[in-house]
Amino acid sequence: MTKKKVDLLITNASELITLQGWSQKPALAVQMRDLGIIRKGSIAIHNGKIVATGKASEIERTFSGKESIDATGEVVMPGFVDPHTHLVFAGFREDEFEMRIKGLSYMEILQRGGGILKSVQETRKASEEQLVENCKKTLDIMLEHGTTTVEAKSGYGLTLKDEMKCLRVIQRLNKEHPVTVVPTFLGAHAIPAEYERNADEYVKLIIDEMIPAVADQKLAEFCDVFCEKEVFNKDQTKQILLHGKTHGLKPKLHADEMTAFKGAELAAEVEAVSAEHLLFASIAGLKAMAKKHVNAVLLPAAAFSLMLSRYANARKMIEIGIAVALGTDFNPSCWVENQQTIIALACRQMKMTPAEAITAVTINAAHAIKRAHEIGSLEPGKKADVIILNIPNHKFLGYRFGTNLVNKVIKEGKLVVDRE
Amino acid sequence: MTKKKVDLLITNASELITLQGWSQKPALAVQMRDLGIIRKGSIAIHNGKIVATGKASEIERTFSGKESIDATGEVVMPGFVDPHTHLVFAGFREDEFEMRIKGLSYMEILQRGGGILKSVQETRKASEEQLVENCKKTLDIMLEHGTTTVEAKSGYGLTLKDEMKCLRVIQRLNKEHPVTVVPTFLGAHAIPAEYERNADEYVKLIIDEMIPAVADQKLAEFCDVFCEKEVFNKDQTKQILLHGKTHGLKPKLHADEMTAFKGAELAAEVEAVSAEHLLFASIAGLKAMAKKHVNAVLLPAAAFSLMLSRYANARKMIEIGIAVALGTDFNPSCWVENQQTIIALACRQMKMTPAEAITAVTINAAHAIKRAHEIGSLEPGKKADVIILNIPNHKFLGYRFGTNLVNKVIKEGKLVVDRE
């Protein structure tokens, strides 16, 4: 029998983590612990897509690779999907980090004109070109740490012109960088200084001008709102998200991050694709989310960086049957590019097992950005976004922390990172 | 004027963090925030030693370098000193990590024959050669993340033969790897299974046989004890440390980690070089430590990995005037090699400022292992252990986390890591 020729074989992984079976619906409850592991597993890749996965002996009997990577003793798994980042901004906020150490809260810093509004000032000043360069540096680091798809929000422009600029940056990144970037419009990230006493006016601007323009130019897939006390209230959030929906922008929302604000309930009501943070979500709200299949995107690095004493109740969400995903929340006050760090935090601070956390940064993260049909698991027909980790089994993710365990990154069939 | 020729110049750092002034006595209280920063600073290095530091213009007027590294826009500082690691062991404990996530305590796992005792079994089985290879891999990773000197404890042998084997491993590493390794004898790390009901007998073995043998062969500088409820009590600890002292081994102890055990008081009483962990130390104990100049070595990654709800009260210690140092506590249940991760944890979980944390991983860490005369700051005459970080100022350490910010490592004047 002649073997079928393919572009690339990755052979003999100690664990080939396929995560197969959850492409139609996310992994829920105990399913989150079922990684679809093939021991001594191989994967065949052709034209940037996965052709087959299976036992090494079987794959090597069927296929021959133009190129081949030996993964003996290593873990092979889908590239990380980061479903929540504020990728596009200018400047840094290291001074504010020190203020937080000394006890100032996020809202206090925001009210002093710091926080998001400082980044807004700098982002408005920055050219599209400068922003593209900043983002490429970040995406390089993300890719080096195994992230192959990232959701990216606007939200540091807060004018029609500047929000459009940030979304065009994302559009360009998609063409100019190997990482896939999924765009979200977050004009409702903060109330800009010029609308300080007139939030409703700003909401009107978002609805009347920004959303139509974004939709018209197809610059975003999702519309997100920072629904929070002293930011956007529930009515404003609902208006924006429902209006976004009518323009084809799927709803997401920052919900119950700092206070119990019934954001989870609202996420269910508007049938959001995902609700993010959820530290103060009520049980009733979580149950409503489960019923409406709203994904939870948990962001433990935000709680860690804001030095909150609370983390989202991941165990309760998993028990209730919510699809839990994990993201970095990369932003100027939570400067972390590495989903391995998020796994380490999720295991320790939210008591997720390594298997649950892995599901949350792959297939469930893909569901949270409506990409599960093409990424997030290693199954025939999906994009060959694959990472190879220098660890003998998946339980080392979380257990070992603080260093990069990813050795190689394959993006749509191409070896784009090789750290050996 | 002819310029003086030196081996290496590192020029024009945006911040040259010298940490000068604390070589005789560690930095205390507000001194911990004084990093001795020279903006647009350069450093001249010759024969593996620091010759001069100063403003770039001044250094470049005085010296010419055979080699030169341009550090424009980057931070240059002393290599990290890691004053507390359990470097030498065989095997992994990733299964136990999952048990902890599911709620088992450290002591419960230990009592089930897991924990330290599992690593003891595997370390006894391992050859000296295997252990050297394991440790070299770890030291490679540490060096890549900026650590140029590391304290290393025995303590997974727990027989005369196996403790000596582990200490010989450390001795060999010092010759075969660029990282400087400072040896500590920790025969009193756990009560071995074979002495389960007869701890005093094991203490006698440590005192009568191990300490004299270790001292005789000059295999350690320090003697350490895990002083803790259900491990070594205060009397046993005191006996061991005082006996070690008579053999020239300087005392250190794991104190008040899991329970309030008056370990800090004991550290003061025996005039230990350092007391480690200190999560449950009493205020009276801390004041006694300050009076006797006992260094505190805080290990937030241990609390993080053991998922304790408490961290050491660093702020109180700094207020009282204790010299605070930070270490990784690298060991099979706390698998982290990276002192940058420790800074990130210290800032968030113990409210140390980035400057305080930097002092704690450099000059104060050097004091905690009696090496402040030769490392821990950038001052003429000291070893040229220097790191270059890809950040514009020191406040980015802690603020940015989860990735390696170190670009270059110079060990005793030689460029040993270059990640660009």
A68 and A22 in a single domain? The answer is yes
Name the packing angle between helices B94-101 and A339-349 (round to 10°). Answer: 50
Q: Are B93 and B410 in contact (CB under 8 A)?
A: no
> Is B400 in the A-facing interface, judged by CB distances under 8 Å?
yes
A266 and A383 in a single domain? The answer is no
B276 and B385 in a single domain? The answer is no
Residue A354's closest chain B neighbor by CA?
A: B98
Q: Which of A97, A351, A404 sits opposite B101 (nearest CB)?
A: A351
The CA radius of gyration of chain B, in Å to the nearest whole number, is 21
| Strands across the sheet containing B274-277 | B80-82, B147-153, B180-188, B222-226, B250-255, B274-277, B295-298, B324-326
Contacts of B400 in chain A (CB under 8 A): 335-336
How is residue B331 annotated by DSSP?
B
Q: Which of A337, A393, A398 sits opposite B402 (nearest CB)?
A: A337
How close A408 gets to chain B, by Cα (Å)?
16
> Is B399 in the A-facing interface, judged by CB distances under 8 Å?
yes
Instruction: Give me the number of domains chain A comprises.
Output: 2
B306-362 tens-digit pLDDT: 998 899 999 999 999 999 999 999 999 999 999 999 999 999 999 999 999 999 999
* B276 has a pLDDT exceeding 80: yes
Contacts of A399 in chain B (CB under 8 A): 92-94, 97, 335
Type of residue numbered B217 = Q
Query: Of B346, B368, B390, at which residue does a domain stop?
Result: B368
A294 and A306 in a single domain? The answer is yes
| Interchain proximity A401–B337, CB inside 8 Å | no
Q: Give residues 58 to 87 of B whose Cβ lies within 8 Å of A.
A: none
B284 and B383 in a single domain? The answer is no
Q: Residue A151, exposed/middle/buried by CB under 10 A (0-12, 13-18, 19+)?
A: buried
**Structural domain for A292, as ranges:** 81-368
Residue by residue, pLDDT tens for chain A (420 residues) are: 789 999 999 999 999 999 999 999 999 999 999 999 999 999 999 999 999 999 999 999 999 999 999 999 999 999 999 999 999 999 999 999 999 999 998 778 877 777 898 999 999 999 999 999 999 999 999 999 999 999 999 999 999 999 999 999 999 999 999 999 999 999 999 999 999 889 999 999 999 999 999 999 999 999 999 999 999 999 999 999 999 999 999 999 999 999 999 999 999 999 999 999 999 999 999 999 999 999 999 999 999 999 988 999 999 999 999 999 999 999 999 999 999 999 999 999 999 999 999 999 999 999 999 999 999 999 999 999 999 999 999 999 999 999 999 999 999 999 999 998
B319 and B413 in a single domain? The answer is no
β-bridge pairing B295-298 and B274-277: parallel
Domain with residue B398: its CATH number is 2.30.40.10
B75 and B88 in a single domain? The answer is no
A164-177 tens-digit pLDDT: 999 999 999 999 99
CA A71 and chain centroid, separation? 27
Q: Which of B304, B347, B402 sits opposite A336 (nearest CB)?
A: B402
A211 and A321 in a single domain? The answer is yes
Q: Which of A307, A354, A400 sits opposite B98 (nearest CB)?
A: A354
A146 and A29 in a single domain? The answer is no
Q: Which of B399, B404, B420 to mutate to test the interface with A (most CBs of A within 10 A)?
A: B399
Q: Which of A93, A352, A401 sits opposite B341 (nearest CB)?
A: A401
A66 and A122 in a single domain? The answer is no
B60 and B125 in a single domain? The answer is no
* B146 has a pLDDT exceeding 80: yes
d(CA A298, CA A310): 12
Look at residue A64 and give its three-state secondary structure: strand
Number of Cβ atoms within 10 Å of the Cβ of A28 = 18
Domain with residue A264: its CATH number is 3.20.20.140
Torsion of CA A212, A214, A216, A217, to 10 degrees: 160
Percentage helix, strand, coil for chain A under 3-state DSSP, each rounded to 5:
40, 25, 35
**Verdict on whether the full-model pTM lies above 0.80:** yes
> Is B204 in the A-facing interface, judged by CB distances under 8 Å?
no
Contacts of A341 in chain B (CB under 8 A): 401-402
Closest C-alpha to B361, from B332, B386, B340? B340
Position B110 confidence tier, pLDDT thresholds 50, 70, 90 = confident
> Is B132 in the A-facing interface, judged by CB distances under 8 Å?
no
B185 and B309 in a single domain? The answer is yes
